[in-house]
């Protein structure tokens, strides 16, 4: 998967994200967020190894419906989806190791399982 460095110009709807087939890494954050900036190297390293997945980088903030639909409280939050179902979540990863467990679950877990991992 190509790691997306910039936030999407327009926010997709929750329905559009849920309709995406296969594996989707949905990253929430803000360009001015220090935690988001610090997490970028770890996210890039972890996500580039998964060539068949889609990476969506969405700017979040007050009143943003997609972030509310996924109950995002802190940035960055990485929601890992398979066929529209959340299978893992990582909040504020600091290094690639913080992502390893969630990515392993994403690779192996059936869509019905939801796992939360906080970094």
Domain housing 114: 14-118
CB 4 within 8 A of CB 78: no
Domain assignment of residue 3, yes or no: no
Cα(26)–Cα(48) distance, integer angstroms: 14
CATH number at residue 84: 3.40.30.10
Q: Given a cut of 50, is residue 49 above it in pLDDT?
A: yes
Residues 6+ apart with CB under 8 A from 48: 1, 2, 3
Query: Could you read off the pLDDT of 72-114 as tens digits, one per residue?
Result: 999 999 999 999 999 999 999 998 888 999 999 998 866 544 4
Domain assignment of residue 76, yes or no: yes
Domain assignment of residue 50, yes or no: yes
Domain assignment of residue 88, yes or no: yes
CB 23 within 8 A of CB 52: yes
Identify the residue with better confidence: 14 or 2: 14
Cα(16)–Cα(31) distance, integer angstroms: 23
Domain assignment of residue 9, yes or no: no
Domain assignment of residue 2, yes or no: no
Q: Given a cut of 90, is residue 2 above it in pLDDT?
A: no
Which residue numbers are catalytic? 33, 36
Domain count, the chain: 1
Residue 115 pLDDT: 52
């Amino acid at each position: 998967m190509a790691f997306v460095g910039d936030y999407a110009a327009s926010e997709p709807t929750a329905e559009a994200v849920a309709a995406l087939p296969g594996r989707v890494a949905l990253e929430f954050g803000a360009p001015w967020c220090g935690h988001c900036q610090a997490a970028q190297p770890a996210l890039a390293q972890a996500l580039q190894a998964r060539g068949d997945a889609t990476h969506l980088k969405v700017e979040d903030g007050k009143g943003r419906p997609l972030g509310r639909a996924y109950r995002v409280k802190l940035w960055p939050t990485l929601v890992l989806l398979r066929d529209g179902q959340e299978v893992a979540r990582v909040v504020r990863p600091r290094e690639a190791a913080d992502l390893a467990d969630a990515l392993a679950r994403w690779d192996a877990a059936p869509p019905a399982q939801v796992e939360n991992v906080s970094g």
